[in-house]
């Protein structure tokens, strides 16, 4: 396939893997990207900027993906215009970001992201007048990245060679400053420049390396792969809100299972999900199976264009870490249900210190877990009430997921599968058949009024989640 895509392209093998001040140029006869493959809004943004006298190109993932015959997720534009100059050209544009300022140009639901060419700022460059534009902390991490530069500078500071390709829709030429085309042909994710330094500048690049390797089915080139294991703990310095966004990109792109494997192999998973990694160590088969099955499901749903909820995903990723915590609390004398509630709360709070899961997702996580306590209790009208609960579906799917990983539930999943499709009279029969022992029900009269009663899912979710 690649042969076809790169028509008569000459291999630039002789070159070292550095970024160059003069690019390899591919004319429209040497690659297979056509103007028609590109969002007309992206083309119009580039052309408008060019007409206004600025340099402008399509860049990054869209060029890479089009060369690989993949539908680009979005179209990014790089330009010599400053964010303010870009905004002045478009009525529908907004400047966003602080660490990395850029402009979003809106066309209905489509957003074209326009970034000004950036320059690398050398370490120790802390002159007072530029520190508001660019700054690093003591470990070399870039805190602000708003020093503008030339097209050549911009190519150098991009993360991977395969992401440093610039396409000009007017001439239909591709500019390749870092031998990205060579790496695309060889299926390699390779950092531009010194890998250790580039990861230190922005540890999220380690996650991006894994994400692109999984998405494109590429290898991480050996020098780019080597420092990851050692530098993985640097992810702890990344703001938890940014990591939340990155984790969604990792797991909601349709390649979650493979991504998870790579994250584990490179020691990155434990930095993102420390409690789950501990469960993976303590109970490897069950934990791996549960997480993997959840991710396989997610990938399948994305393939089928079905909605996926991050809450279900996080509920699954964290679930294997719950039992040990529940047990610990029970050993301290806490009854099972409060112990479960407390363990869930602790686990989510701890996780949120690494990855800021917003409350709109932590609440449903608690509700999905809460459902696991409720699904076995089916007597009287309970089963029908549960069926009407808006979280029933997620709770039921989660039960099946637990069973798929080998949890013993006494056939509860099958019972619910049959119950949902049964007629009224069949349902009454199924409820009658439940023996009290099998349901584990606590007879009403034994309940104390001051006891810990279960309430509707969500009603008992603590407000500090």
Task: Name which of 61 and 457 has its Cβ closer to ligand ATP.
Answer: 61
Residue 300 Cβ vs ligand ATP, minimum distance, rounded to whole Å: 20
State which residue, 66 or 348, has the beta carbon closest to Mg ion: 66
Q: How far is the CB of 350 from Mg ion (least distance, A)?
A: 32
Cβ closest to Mg ion, residue 66 vs residue 357: 66
- List 74, 168, 342, 350, residue binding Mg ion (CB under 5 A): 74
Instruction: Report the distance separating Cα 151 and Cα 87, nearest Å.
Output: 20
Smallest gap from residue 145 Cβ to ligand ATP (A): 8
Task: State phi, psi for 85 to the nearest 5 degrees.
Answer: -65, -35
The verdict on whether 76 is a catalytic residue reads: yes
DSSP letters of 321-372?
Answer: GHHHHHHHHHHTT--HHHHHHHHHHHHHHHHHHHS---HHHHHHHHHHHHHH
Q: Which stretches of 375-449 are DSSP H helices?
A: 382-388, 392-404, 412-421, 424-433, 436-439
Instruction: Name which of Mg ion, ligand ATP, none residue 222 binds, using a CB cut-off of 5 to 8 Å depending on partner kind.
Output: none
Helical packing angle, 336-354 and 274-282, nearest 10°: 120
Single out the residue of 26, 120, 39, 115 nearest to residue 75, CA to CA. 39
Inter-residue contact 165 to 59 (CB < 8 Å) = yes
Q: How far is the CB of 406 from Mg ion (least distance, A)?
A: 39
Residue 145 binding target from Mg ion, ligand ATP, none, CB below 5 to 8 Å by type: none
* Closest by Cα among 294, 242, 292, 247 to 272: 247
Q: Smallest distance from the beta carbon of 45 to ligand ATP, in angstroms? A: 15
346 binds, among ligand ATP, Mg ion, none (CB under 5 to 8 A by kind): none
Max Cα–Cα distance, the chain, nearest Å: 83
- 378 contact choice in Mg ion, ligand ATP, none (CB below 5 to 8 Å, kind-dependent): none
Complex with ligand ATP: residue 139 or 349, whichever CB lies closer? 139
The reply to whether 159 sits near Mg ion by the rule CB under 5 A is no
Q: Mapping DSSP to helix (H, G, I), strand (E, B) and coil, where does residue 237 land?
A: helix
65 binds Mg ion (CB under 5 A): no
Binds 393: which of ligand ATP, Mg ion, none (CB < 5-8 Å by kind): none
- The residues of the shown chain that bind ligand ATP, judged by CB under 6 A, are 60-61, 73-74, 76, 158-159, 163, 202, 204-205
- Catalytic site residue from 65, 145, 159, 202: 159
The reply to whether 74 belongs to the active site is: yes
125 noted as active-site residue? no
Cβ at position 295, least distance to Mg ion in Å? 22
Give which of 262, 256, 250, 323 is closest to 292, Cα–Cα: 256
Q: Which of 43, 57, 61, 213 binds Mg ion (CB under 5 A)?
A: 61
d(CA 158, CA 388): 51
Cα dihedral 95, 98, 100, 106 in deg (nearest 10): -20
Are residues 184 and 162 in contact, defined by beta-carbon separation less than 8 angstroms?
A: yes
Please, how many CA atoms are within 13 Å of residue 175, restricted to the half-sphere of its CB?
23
Partner interacting with residue 159 (select from ligand ATP, Mg ion, none; CB below 5-8 Å by kind): ligand ATP
Would you call 57 helix, strand, or coil by DSSP? strand
Q: Which is nearer to ligand ATP, 161 or 297 (CB)?
A: 161
Binding site for Mg ion (CB under 5 A): 61, 74, 76
> So which residues are the catalytic ones?
74, 76, 159
């Amino acid at each position: 396939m690649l042969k076809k895509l790169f028509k008569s392209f000459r291999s630039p093998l002789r070159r070292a893997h550095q970024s160059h001040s003069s690019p390899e140029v591919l004319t429209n006869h040497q690659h297979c990207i056509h103007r028609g493959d590109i969002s007309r809004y992206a083309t119009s943004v580039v052309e408008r900027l060019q007409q206004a006298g600025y340099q402008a190109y399509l860049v990054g993932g869209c060029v890479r993906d089009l060369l690989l015959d993949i539908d680009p997720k979005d179209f990014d534009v790089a330009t010599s215009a400053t964010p303010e100059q870009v905004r002045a050209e478009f009525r529908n544009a907004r400047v966003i970001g602080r660490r990395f300022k850029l402009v979003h140009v809106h066309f209905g639901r489509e957003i074209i992201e326009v970034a000004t060419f950036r320059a690398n700022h050398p370490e120790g460059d802390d002159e007072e007048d530029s520190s508001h534009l660019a700054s690093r902390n003591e470990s070399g991490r870039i805190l602000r990245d708003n020093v503008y530069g030339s097209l050549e500078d911009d190519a150098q500071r991009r993360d991977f060679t395969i992401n440093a390709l610039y396409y000009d829709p007017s001439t239909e030429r591709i500019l390749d400053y870092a031998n990205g085309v060579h790496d695309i042909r060889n299926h390699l994710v390779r950092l531009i420049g010194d890998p250790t330094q580039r990861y230190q500048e922005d540890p999220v690049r380690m996650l991006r390396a894994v994400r692109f390797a999984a998405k494109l089915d590429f290898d991480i080139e050996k020098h780019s792969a080597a420092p990851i294991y050692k530098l993985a703990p640097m992810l702890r310095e990344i703001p938890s809100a940014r990591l939340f966004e990155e984790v969604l990109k990792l797991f909601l792109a349709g390649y979650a299972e493979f991504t998870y494997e790579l994250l584990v192999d490179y020691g990155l998973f434990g930095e993102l999900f420390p409690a789950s990694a501990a469960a993976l160590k303590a109970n490897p088969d069950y934990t791996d199976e549960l997480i993997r099955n959840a991710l396989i499901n997610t990938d399948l749903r994305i393939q089928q264009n079905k909605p996926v909820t991050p809450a279900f995903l996080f509920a699954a990723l964290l679930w294997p870490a719950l039992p040990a915590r529940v047990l610990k609390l029970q050993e301290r004398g806490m009854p099972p249900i409060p112990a479960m509630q407390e363990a869930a709360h602790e686990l989510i709070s701890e996780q949120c210190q690494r990855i800021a899961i917003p409350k709109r997702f932590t609440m449903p996580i608690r509700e999905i877990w809460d459902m696991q306590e409720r699904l076995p209790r089916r007597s009287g009208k309970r089963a029908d009430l549960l069926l009407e609960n808006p979280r029933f579906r997620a709770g039921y799917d989660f039960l099946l997921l637990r069973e798929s990983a080998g949890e013993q539930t006494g056939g509860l999943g099958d019972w619910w599968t049959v119950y949902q499709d049964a007629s009224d009279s069949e349902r009454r029969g199924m409820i009658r058949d439940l023996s009290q022992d099998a349901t584990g029900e606590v007879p009403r009269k034994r309940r104390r009024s001051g006891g810990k009663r279960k309430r509707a899912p969500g009603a008992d979710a603590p407000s500090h989640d």
